[in-house]
Structure 1
Amino acid sequence: MPALPFKSWSLFVVAGVVTVLSLSVLPTTEQVLDQRRQAVAVFQHGGGRWLTDDNLVDAMATLPLRGRLSKVVWDHSILTVDLTADSADGVWADLAQLVSFACGDTRNVKQLLVRFFASKSSGRTLMMAAETRKSDWSLEALADPLLPAKLADPDGNNNIRLSVTPSGKRWLANFAN
């Protein structure tokens, strides 16, 4: 009779050891799955690249922007970009570059937020802000060479939401003259 409690306790000990060993293998399995996901993302056809914290700086550095990048934030599929410009001459071209990059060249950006600042002797002044979503754009619209001009037209532009400050209206009007 004393052998029966020993067998039941030994069964619990064996089950505990198996559980501990199987739990210790989980991190290795997760690393293997992450490597497979990254390999699949690299070799998928025609979908663009994944934007991550690791490649954000390199991706933004390749964009030919006229304004200076002040701040770039990548958080939960939302790309936020702050640009500082000395004049308004490159605002629409920069906005078109950022929209094409975020909505056309990347796979995992769902929303783009852009703020334009003017550098003045007293500091930076917000001139305008733009917000758009990837679902607002078709590939044909992103490939249009007249995209900067269409972004500047407030009546013909339904894909992007602009907010222009009063000083930003004067800033843009001075460029137009």
Structure 2
Amino acid sequence: MKWLSRLLVTLLLSTGVALALSLLPKMENGWNSPVFRSVKAQPVSENNIVDVMSKMPLHLRIRKVEVNHAIVSVDLLASPASEKDDIVQDMYEIPRTFFSRSTNINQVLIRVMDSPTAGNGATATLLLATDARREKWLPSETVFMPLSIEEMEQYLQSHFRMTYTTKWKNRFDIKS
């Protein structure tokens, strides 16, 4: 009989400790910890596009952003020192962010412009363009981060419409 009472006391103590540990985050942060808070998708509009874009970890400068109904158009400016890896990461991150964190964006158009050379008054020229559509985006495939640059580039080419200019091909020597 002694072993039964010891077993019951141990069981009650273990259950009490487990319950106390599960309530610890609530007492400490009031459920405000990022672990317990989910990011909810919200509509993107002209009013909050700056907030959405500023939260993206982009490498290139943003030249222009436009929201038109369910379409977002983004122009990025690549400097002569911009690396292919940085450009590919930005081209991957922008649609991923819009599709996962918004409820109303169904298409993201991205253009990467090469910055003009100083002094001759030339305008920026197109390097690369992407037409990303929500129906082609597979959220389950993009959960496993981080992806390598090659995997990101392959994902972009297989799921979205990518347009490479001659200037891009000459600069980064791709095989298409």
Q: Into which bin does the TM-score normalised by the smaller protein fall? A: 0.5 to 0.7
Q: Does 1:95 find its partner at 2:91? A: yes
**Equivalence for 2:21:** none
1:149 maps to amino acid: E
Aligned to 2:165: 165
1:58 to 44, 51, 59: 51
Aligned length: 129
How big is the alpha-carbon RMSD for the aligned residues of Structure 1 and Structure 2? 2.2
Percent identical: 24
> Aligned-pair distance for 1:120?
2.7
Residues 49-128 of structure 1 aligned to structure 2 (within 5 Å): 49-86=42-79, 87-89=82-84, 90-121=86-117, 122-128=122-128
TM-score with structure 2 length normalisation? 0.66
SS in 1 for 2:158: coil
- Once the 2 structures are TM-superposed, how far is the Cα of residue 101 of structure 1 from its aligned partner? 0.8
Letter in 2 for 1:49: Q
Radius of gyration: which is bigger?
A: 1
Partner of 1:37: none
**Cα displacement (A) at 1:151:** 3.6
Distance 1:73 1:148, change over 3 A: farther
Gaps of 5+ in 1: 1-44
Provide, for residues 14-46 of structure 1, a one-character-per-residue CA deviation record: whole Å limited to 9, x for no partner: xxxxxxxxxxxxxxxxxxxxxxxxxxxxxxx87
* Paired AA for residue 66 in structure 1: H
Which structure: greater helix fraction? 1
Tell me whether 68-77 or 140-149 shows the greater mean CA deviation.
140-149
Q: TM-score, normalised by structure 1?
A: 0.66
Aligned to 2:41: 48
Partner secondary structure for residue 150 of structure 1? helix
Stretches of structure 2 lacking an aligned partner (at least 5 in a row): 1-37
